[in-house]
Structure 1
Amino acid sequence: MNVTKNFLRDTWRLTKPYWFSEDRLRGRLLLAVILSMSLGLVYLNVLFNKWNNAFYDSLQNHDWKAFTHQLLVFGVLACIYIAVAVYQLYLQQMLQIRWRRWLTDTLMNRWLANRTYYVMQMRGGETDNPDQRIADDIDSFVSQTLTLTLGFLESTITLISFVGILWNLSGALSFTLAGVGVTVPGYMVWTALVYALVGSYLTMRVGRPLIRLNFDQQRYEADFRFSLVRFRESVEGVALYGGEQDESSIFKGRFDKVVSNWWAIMKRQKRLSWLTNGYAQAAVIFPILAAAPRYFSGAMELGGLMQTASAFGQVQGSLSWFVNAYSELASWRATVDRLTSFSHAMDEVREAQNGSGLTRDTADGDVLTLRELALALPDGGPMVEPVGLTLRKGESLLISGPSGTGKSTLLRAIAGLWPYATGAIHLPAGGRTLFLPQKPYLPMGDLRAVLSYPTPEGGFDDDALRAALADCGLERLAGLLDDERYWAQTLSPGEQQRLAFARMLLQKPDWLFLDEATSALDEDGEARLYALLRERLPDAAVVSVGHRSSLLPFHGQRITLRTAKLQPTIRPVERA
């Protein structure tokens, strides 16, 4: 019971915001029109039901005039029905894309805000493949929610509309049981109810495992697709290692999970299909058998028999909505579970960020201050003992120490990416900050956009772009600004780092943080870029993470990080 309650609450949390958003008026108007059309379709089905009586009576009575008249009536009703059904689907799709766009923007903004995407990736857990959840699961959720909700409402309206008709048509069934006369008024209604309840119960018992199977199928499909994308992004490394066989094993292993789970879905759906198809076929003849005694007794004409069978079908179909929609319900439940777990994970990240013992703020002045900044691992284990330092504009600091002592993590904490810390970080208000990681991010697009990133394309003129490339030793790329390539694979690691320095020259930051940003270059190339940095940005504060002693001449201070058991030491760089 609690599981169902929690599921309904989570579903409402996903559904509610759109209907109270800035797009609520258009969304509600579209929904109202669609519901009105559903009412219209139900009313047309009522008219079709009455038409059955008159049409089959004309056949039984060999009345040609009445027969042709009923054909004309049917043509008019059918044209109206088709037009309403077509525009109902069109407006439903219009509402679907509006809702999907709003929900995609909302979840994507939450995912990107405060580097939530980064912390989620670092934490791991059950929030696998957020790209699929945003791209595919939102689409499925909106489509299935509208389809199932409108289907349920239409079934409810149909039930209300036809149960009275069926009650009046079926009359009373009288029989003797153990010597006692029994009369069941509206017996066809009770028959339809029992028939639907039995079918719903059996469907739930047989189809329940599909919920988890569909959830797993979406995850396995996403994992398989992600492994292919990751391979595409790392083709050079795989080729150099000769790792094709190992990659093939990874692909096959992940695809085997897809196939194995798919077989489980097939077997379960086969059982469910036996039940639902048998149920549907029996429903064709069952109402005629149930009404046959009154027909053969002369209590109703052929038209009345067919109208009764039609009304029974509408009532039974409405009551059997759960049976007919169970497969889609199982898929929808899995989609909702994936989206709600994604939303919960983002909430947990926000709570972790808000509940962190780290204070990170800005203040007037040109000083960066770290006070008792202690880094920890995600599991709470200590990483580095508290660090304290003060850095002013124009000064430079080299962070060194053995691998694994938290050098890069210290920069992450300053950037606001690492919530597992205590202490305080006071950043200068104003001024531009730029972080250069060891592996630069190169977005898709032409070289002009790649070089300008994160400034929108057009923020720098072409002459400035070419000059920055030439200054950083990338003259050969100066004529390729319009070229669209997969630059992350086209350029060598050293060229990518040179390109990152060219970005720096364009951005002109006041506070620059370099995380082994020249590790792929030789020492001479590294020295030329650092000399260029100090020449072009003499007033910028520079913080570098590196292992090479060749970096010392370009920094005024040096901090050596140790493990959590040893205190970090800060001292001026000794000049030769």
Structure 2
Amino acid sequence: MIAYYLALSFVKALVRFTGGFFALKGRLCLSKYLHSNYISKEKFYSICTENEIDNPDQRISQDVERFMECVRKLLESLVIDPFLIAYYTYSTAAINGGNLIGPLVIYTYFLVSCFFCKLAVTPLIPLIFEREAKEGYFRYVHVRIRQFSESISFLNGEHFERLKADGMLDSLLGVQKKVLEKGIAIKFFTEFFNFFGAIVSYLIIAIPIFTGVFDNKSKAELSQIISLNSFTSMYLIYKFTVITDLTDVVGDLAGYTSRLGQFIEVLEKVQQDKDRFSIIVENDAIADTEYFNNHFKGPNSNCIILEKVSVKSPDGEFKFLIRNLNLKLNPGENLLITGSNGSGKSLLLKMLAKFDKYQKYDDTGSTIFIPSFPKVMFVPQIVYLPEFSSINEILGYGCMGNDSGFFSCDVNCVGYREFGISDVLDCLEKVKLTHIIKRIKISGEPLSILSEKFEVATLSPGEKQRLLIARIMLWKPVWAIIDEGLSNIDEDGCKTLFKYLEELKISLIVVEHQDANFFLDNSSLNFKNLVISNDNN
């Protein structure tokens, strides 16, 4: 008996371990699959900006984990239970003299209970979907409060943010309340069928007795048969009720499956749109091979060429912001793009960056030739530095893997380009950021300056912009496209940075809202001026 209990305990522990390992491995595979399809060139930007689905970050970080946890619970129950159900079905029939009435009654009882539980769980699925969406929005509000805490404090917006967070919480709990209300039906049916199972077991015992199956048995034998019959039928019913009790898990699983399925559908749709666009570009490239060889090979391989480029507004009106723009820039030439708000300056840069979402707005048969990363590097309007990163990771950020189809670069296994400590320190000195080294907790080795993590949040906006310029200086691209990336740096600082960029022979395309005189008066850089006006319409 002790050996039996030891074996049973070992099997159950093994099943639990196997289930947990399966959930862990499943989360790893599913999350990496979503990562590879979501965090990819152009695709995730399109998903985040078009708002086809809510909270893609939550679907990967939370929904996948809960989905696999639901699968684990179901599998752990279904691994052993089918064998136990088969064994006790046979035992119940054998005790009743081979009569299958008892097992058939139990199976019918189980099917009826499943039917009612399905009726109860169906209206719960969309509510679970909505609940998880509200959870994502509520979390996002708190992430933004943490991210923009300084700005909120300056703007005296704590009261507004508190009211907004309270409103999100009320909305979330309102849906949670509906889930609880709908869950009452599930709980009622599962508990009812659990209790009613005892009555069914007595019915199963009574059927063979009153039909005369055991008339030839003595009282002692009949008592033994009733005891065995009661045990096997009760246990068989119990195993079925355990499965019925998983209705809550099935409801949650259906909700998470719906959310992840929708996410995958959107990813596939974006990929199809991207493939369709790539085919068009490839066909155009084949047709323009002669033009390409004449204009974009040899000494012109690093040129930027725009012919008949028109940019439409993405706001739904699709009016032309830029019409029939023709431009050719050779390495060594610098361009200043100016214009009023909403004139299409940043939209033009997004087309140059090959964002599919914005390329599709240009349906006029235009031609855009521009070198790929890292020959062309951008300094975006909204400064971004990877959080919890080292100096080397920040300065080497953006390097593409060998399978990306982009220009090959020195890339290590963690996906960023490494630079020598002397180059990094020299560059930081030029952009006047050597003081940030003091903020890094050095672990002993001099090289740890490059590998130790530090808080990006401690940097001022101007320091962040200087760090992005330092990144440009280390990479030494042919072109640096700066979208108001120097707005937090004073004029003297800008002149110094431009001087170093000129020494490195990095050509500039600068977008500015403000007075262009500062750039145009800088005779050493000799900026051309492209003025984008709403009058272009």
How high is the TM-score relative to the length of structure 1?
Answer: 0.76
Corresponding residue of 2:5: 78
Amino acid across the alignment from 2:190? T
- Structure 1 counterpart of 2:406: none
Q: 2:429 aligns with which of 470, 482, 505?
A: 470
2:267 to 317, 331, 346: 346
Larger displacement relative to structure 2 (448-457 or 430-439): 448-457
Contact 1:203 1:275 in 2 (8 A): yes
- Match for 2:47 among 120, 133, 147? 120
Letter of the 1:326 counterpart? T
Q: Deviations over 1:109-138 (max 9, x none)?
A: 11112231111111012x222221111222
**Which moves more between the two structures, 451-460 or 437-446?**
451-460
Which structure 1 residue ranges, 5 or more long, are not aligned?
1-71, 173-184, 568-576
- Equivalent residue for 2:179? 265
Match status 1:137 vs 2:63: yes
Alignment of 1:557 onto 2:528: yes
Map 1:407-426; keep pairs closer than 5 Å. 407-417=345-355, 418-422=358-362, 423-426=366-369
Distance 1:204 1:460, change over 3 A: same
Query: Alpha carbons of 1:468 and 1:165: their partners in 2 closer, same or farther (altered >3 Å)?
Result: same
The residue number in structure 2 matching 1:87 is: 14
Aligned length: 477
Counterpart check, 1:394 vs 2:332: yes
2:419 alignment partner in structure 1: 460
Give the 5 Å matches for 1:233-272. 233-272=147-186
1:129-528 to 2 correspondences below 5 Å: 129-149=55-75, 151-152=77-78, 154-171=80-97, 186-292=100-206, 294=208, 301-317=222-238, 323-356=244-277, 359=281, 364=297, 365-378=301-314, 379=316, 381-382=318-319, 383-417=321-355, 418-422=358-362, 423-428=366-371, 432-445=375-388, 448-449=391-392, 451-454=394-397, 459-482=418-441, 484-487=453-456, 489-528=457-496
- Secondary structure at the counterpart of residue 54 of structure 2: coil
| Maintained 8 Å contact 1:474/1:495 | yes
Distance 1:236 1:517 in 2: 20
Q: Write out per-residue CA displacement over residues 517-563 of structure 1, whole angstroms, 9 at most, x where no aligned residue.
A: 1112233332232223212x22x232111123112233432222233
> 524-533 or 379-388: which moved more?
379-388
Q: Deviations over 1:378-400 (max 9, x none)?
A: 44713432322211211111111
Preserved CA contact (<8 Å) 1:156 1:318: no
Counterpart AA for 1:502: A
In the TM superposition, what is the alpha-carbon distance from 1:458 to its structure 2 partner?
8.0
Distance of aligned partners of 1:419 and 1:157 in 2 relative to their CA distance in 1, 3 Å threshold? farther
Deviates more, 1:469-478 or 1:492-501: 469-478
For the Cα contact (< 8 Å) 2:392–2:418, is it kept in 1?
Answer: no
Partner of 2:370, secondary structure, is: strand
Please list, as runs of the form range in 1=range in 2, the aligned pairs for 1:520-539 lying within 5 A after superposition: 520-535=488-503, 537-538=504-505
Q: Return closer, same or farther for 1:562/1:322 CA change in 2, 3 Å cut-off.
A: farther
Stretch moving more, 367-376 or 357-366: 357-366
Q: Could you tell me which amino acid in structure 2 is paired with residue 336 of structure 1?
A: T
Write out per-residue CA displacement over residues 474-525 of structure 1, whole angstroms, 9 at most, x where no aligned residue: 34324334474432x3222222212211222122111211111111223333
551, 557, 566: which is aligned to 2:536?
566
C-alpha separation between the residues in 1 aligned to 2:29 and 2:88? 38
SS of aligned partner of 1:92: helix
Is the 2:19–2:76 Cα contact (8 Å) retained in structure 1?
no
CA contact (8 A) 1:152 1:321 kept: no
Distance 2:359 2:234 in 1: 60
- Hey, what's the Cα distance between the residues in 2 that align with 1:429 and 1:450? 21
Kindly provide the amino acid, as one letter, of the partner of residue 291 in structure 1.
Answer: I
Q: Return the TM-score normalized by structure 2.
A: 0.81
